[in-house]
Structure 1
Amino acid sequence: MKKLLLAVLVCSTLYGKAQLPAYTLVNELNDPHPVDQGVWKEVTGTWHARFISVDEAFKRSAPPERNKLVDRWRAKAWRGEKVHTQALIWTKKALQGVSLQTSTLQDDKGNTITNGHVKANFVRYVLTDHLGDLKSGCGIPKGLDTSLVADLIDHVPNLAIDEKTSRPIWLSIQVPADAAPGVYAGTLTIQARNEKPQRLPFEIEVLPHTLPQPQDWTYHLDLWQNPYSVARVYGVEPWSKEHFEAMAPYMQLLANAGQKVITTSIIYDPWNGQTYDVYDSMIKWTKKKDGSWSYDYRIFDQWVEFMMGFGIHKFIECYSMIPWNLKFYYYDEASGKQVFLKAKPEENAYKEHWKPVLVDFAKHLKEKGWFDRTTIAMDEREMKDMKKAIAIIKEADPAFKISLAGGDHPELYADLADYCVALRYKLDKDLIQERRNKGFTTTFYTCCTEPSPNTFTSSTSAEATWLAWYALNRDFDGYLRWAYNCWGPKPLQDTRYGTWSAGDAWFVYPGARSSIRFERLIEGIQDFEKAKIIKASLQAQGDDAGLKKLDRVIGAFEEEGLKQESAASMVNKAKEVLNSF
């Protein structure tokens, strides 16, 4: 695009209605591999628009293949469910002032779903990389092949579209929980200055089932938040009023996905600088001149209260007693400087540093009424270090909860209230149920390790949906990913950062812009909830045939299955069965 686009965010936060700073959307990058423009000779007319499958991805510089196009989108949805699809504009001439309008939906009985529940947005292209033959997205070398992919779902009211380009549109319908069952028809209208409008018809069959609200979903979603990235992008002082105002729309997006966990950093840089914006400590540690310690929890409290205002409150997870560099920063009154202690968990200095704060922290959490939902959290740490840290935690307060994201450690099953294992570990379902009976949570995660399935910008979008079906199959409570918004230096253009596969570090974009990956992740979570509800209903009815039918399709979601069949094919087959009940 040759013009700058401006998006002004307005949100209503728990601090009242706030006008957020304008955030300019910069130009898209050039396509590293544009197609031969001769392909446009086959395109008749000037510009076109049609629906396409949500599973498809298209090059910006090429028109679509005709067999990918859909005349009318048809979908089934529960009441309370959000469903989505894509449309595509492709044009031989430059278009100005392109805008999108959606109609009110209506069934044959006169029932309606107002157009306030229907959203149409342009999708923007960002740069990704491709692993090729690499077996992992961790520690990737420089110079990988790159391409543009459509991922960023924008909210600008109109857009200029260059000649001989294609532009995806993201259409979503949030079906009201009180919508009457029936088949509703609507129209997406695409207008361009001095051009005849394109009208795309669609139908949504609303089924009689009702999906609960996101805050009531059982799926345990844990996407780690980075408040410091928001402060940097908006140019505001961390923890100022402006900072909280800027963060509000992002955390509302997260709450709408059913997020259960508040990510807190109780030390400086728990992940040894692996993020572009380093996590500071939300607790101020001060060693006084007389050698005693004081701990200031004001920032921690503000952040937790802010997140709870969005209904995110199952766990407050505190990182980390075992940082990757084993450095522990604090303010030293005697020297007037910020200094650090470097100590291993088996060393005396480590215990002397941690036990006092844990005792004091437990007291503070109990005063706030948060102790029972707080965990002392570690990730990918060695067993010997975990055992030493756990011993100190239990000595400080035996009732402290502990969480870990990492490998399969049978020795720790009884100690971990929230336990998340990497995708490659297959925990026994009886173990997961036993933990569930104790009130424990058991989830899985993907990171840079797994080329597929994953949520990189180079991943097929259906892989994000596939993950929740995998959780159903393995009986996990949900899913964790390490980065919701750890933005790189140019996040609106380039999703590469560090030595991880592109898109590894964020799901959403500055300006509170969602992504196709994030929306498809939510799609899978909704499927998870629907399957749980249907299964409970079938069990109550004693419908063994229905249970076998549902279990058969869920049972296909193993990693091995992706070697024989695409994630999109697996997900679509499963959805067809799920929506048949």
Structure 2
Amino acid sequence: MSYSLPGKTFYDELPNPVTANITQWSAVRSDVNVSFASDNVRYPKEQVPLVSSDEWATMAWKGKKIHTQILVWTKKDIPAGKYTGSVTVNAGEEFVLRISLDVAVHILPSSSEWKFDLDLWQNPDPVAKVHGVELWSDEHYRLMRPYYEMLAGAGQKSITAFIIDQPWGPDIIYHRNPTFIKWSRKKDGSWSYDYTVFDKYVEFVMSCGIDQRINCYSMITWDLNFIYFDEAKGDTVSVFAKPGSQAYNELWEPMISNFTNHLKSKGWFEKTTIAMDERDMEGMIAVMALLKRVDTEWKTALAGGYHREIAMDIYDYCIIIHDKFDEDILEARRAAGLPTTFYTACGERRPNAFTFSPPAENVWIGWYAAAEGFTGYLRWAYNNWTEDVLRDTRYKTWPAGDCYQIYPGPRTSIRFEKLIEGIQDFEKIRILRNKFSSEGDIVKLDELNIVLSNFTQENLENIPAAEIVKKGKEFINRF
């Protein structure tokens, strides 16, 4: 319910399956309790309120966004020093919470200048469905803009583009993954490809501030079925084709040849990849061979397992967190300027970004990237909303919250903001490392490396992410 609009109910929460402790709740003497609390902790709904502090003190670089559910932006031109303020909460009665902010001399660049390679896959279809508008209509594009600008503000680098209908099959999400390119097989057996949606969508996302790469999904669908319109049948059909087979090559070579010419005409070829998700090495080799037959400059992307044999052939390589790049491969990829990232998905207990995950684990992500030498992080779903999106984040067998990081509105989430916090920490580490190196300060570099050495998956199994992150922040906040 709303205190500012008495009698107004926005939605009813689902029943809590966990029984509350009546004895503990009986000891609570006030209907309203207001306090600052750690945003690195996920508080169970049934937990009694803990009034721990009416004052919050923190440290920030200039240009950093700090979130307390209330977002605090520190301007880049603000003088360093201590600033104080207060937040008044009106909830039947008035509560005053005090804020103390210590602004450092360092300046955090704008998100468009961050080096961290963030890739949260976007899907336009849920935006249309949840808002009740026609897919690809002017209203759809108007509604999408704040979602994509919010993602750009987190430092997103890649546009997620679907070049075939349902690249992950029909049941991977509640809504659809619609193709941006209309494939049509004519009665004479030739092909035509309509890029109207693809072009408008890519231009739109670029206008929102996401413009470094166009990752196209996918030449290998999860069920190896490929959907197109057959003019002879007057209907949409689906064909099964295994990568490397004659049927596969006959399907894809005409398309890739046409697509290559189209991308070059738009000036997008250099920033475009054909992207695959968790496909095997045999399939990747077949795809790369086909692409190179069409144009030797084609790039590929893979989010999946580590294959040393092709690790230098993949432009944008993202490995599952429990895999490791060989050190020589990692160094070679970094030296070549290749996007080299890691990802978490539904199978990782920790770290992760589920609704039940400790929020600090999303901060840990940025630190882990810095510790391991990755250029960034990928997650498969920015906004694949479920049927009852504001009340129930579960979908089939996926863990709760696996399908999206933000909510319709757009509404941000604690876990999304904590991911940004970790990315900001990654940028701070990068800036400090460069500073220490340019000054020849080996002692501070060694201290930084010792701090980063604590960010391991093994430690995370035994030590809460909040504790590890706290120690890391204590170090970088000294400078």
TM value normalised by structure 2: 0.96
**Structure 2 vs 1, CA of residues 503 and 45 (structure 1 numbering), >3 Å: closer, same or farther?**
closer
Q: Is the contact between residue 2 and residue 27 of structure 1 (CA under 8 Å) also seen in structure 2?
A: no
Residue aligning to 2:28: 43
**Structure 2 vs 1, CA of residues 272 and 3 (structure 1 numbering), >3 Å: closer, same or farther?**
farther
- Shift, 1:256, TM fit: 0.6
Residue aligning to 2:131: 234
Q: CA RMSD in A?
A: 1.8
**Structure 2 vs 1, CA of residues 178 and 337 (structure 1 numbering), >3 Å: closer, same or farther?**
same
2: CA distance, partners of 1:325 / 1:25: 40
Residue aligning to 2:420: 522
Is residue 176 of structure 1 aligned with residue 75 of structure 2? Answer: yes
Aligned partner letter, 1:383: M
Identity %: 46
Moved more, 382-391 or 364-373: 382-391
- Shift, 1:296, TM fit: 0.5
Superposed, 1:429-448 pairs within 5 Å as: 429-448=327-346
Q: Deviations over 1:251-310 (max 9, x none)?
A: 111011000000010001100120111211100011112211111111011111011012
Residue aligning to 1:78: 61
Superposed, 1:419-438 pairs within 5 Å as: 419-438=317-336
**Structure 2 vs 1, CA of residues 39 and 214 (structure 1 numbering), >3 Å: closer, same or farther?**
same
- Shift, 1:346, TM fit: 2.5
Q: Deviations over 1:132-172 (max 9, x none)?
A: xxxxxxxxxxxxxxxxxxxxxxxxxxxxxxxxxxxxxx132
The structure in which a higher percent of residues are helix is: 2
Structure 2: any 5+ residue segments left out of the alignment?
Answer: none
Residue aligning to 2:410: 512
2: CA distance, partners of 1:45 / 1:329: 60
Aligned partner letter, 2:89: I
- Shift, 1:434, TM fit: 1.3
2: CA distance, partners of 1:561 / 1:452: 11
Moved more, 412-421 or 52-61: 52-61
- Shift, 1:475, TM fit: 0.2
Aligned partner letter, 1:64: P
Q: Is the contact between residue 169 and residue 221 of structure 2 (CA under 8 Å) also seen in structure 1?
A: yes
**Structure 2 vs 1, CA of residues 382 and 60 (structure 1 numbering), >3 Å: closer, same or farther?**
closer
Aligned partner letter, 2:53: V
Q: Is the contact between residue 3 and residue 91 of structure 2 (CA under 8 Å) also seen in structure 1?
A: no
Residue aligning to 1:282: 180
2: CA distance, partners of 1:211 / 1:450: 31
**Structure 2 vs 1, CA of residues 48 and 536 (structure 1 numbering), >3 Å: closer, same or farther?**
same
Residue aligning to 1:309: 207
1:357 corresponds, among 244, 255, 259, to: 255
Is residue 26 of structure 1 aligned with residue 22 of structure 2? Answer: no
2: CA distance, partners of 1:63 / 1:329: 53
Superposed, 1:49-448 pairs within 5 Å as: 49-65=34-50, 69-85=52-68, 170-193=69-92, 195=93, 197-273=94-170, 274-448=172-346
Q: Is the contact between residue 182 and residue 194 of structure 2 (CA under 8 Å) also seen in structure 1?
A: yes
Is residue 572 of structure 1 aligned with residue 470 of structure 2? Answer: yes
Aligned partner letter, 2:201: W
2: CA distance, partners of 1:355 / 1:76: 55
1: CA distance, partners of 2:295 / 2:71: 48
Aligned partner letter, 1:82: K
Q: Is the contact between residue 312 and residue 329 of structure 2 (CA under 8 Å) also seen in structure 1?
A: no
Q: Which has the higher contact order (CA 8 A, sep 6+)?
A: 1
- Shift, 1:2, TM fit: 8.9
- Shift, 1:46, TM fit: 4.9
Q: Is the contact between residue 320 and residue 376 of structure 1 (CA under 8 Å) also seen in structure 2?
A: yes
2: CA distance, partners of 1:58 / 1:483: 24
**Structure 2 vs 1, CA of residues 4 and 391 (structure 1 numbering), >3 Å: closer, same or farther?**
farther
**Structure 2 vs 1, CA of residues 4 and 78 (structure 1 numbering), >3 Å: closer, same or farther?**
closer
Partner of 2:434, secondary structure, is: helix
Q: Is the contact between residue 33 and residue 49 of structure 2 (CA under 8 Å) also seen in structure 1?
A: no
1: CA distance, partners of 2:91 / 2:10: 21
Structure 1: any 5+ residue segments left out of the alignment?
Answer: 7-23, 86-169
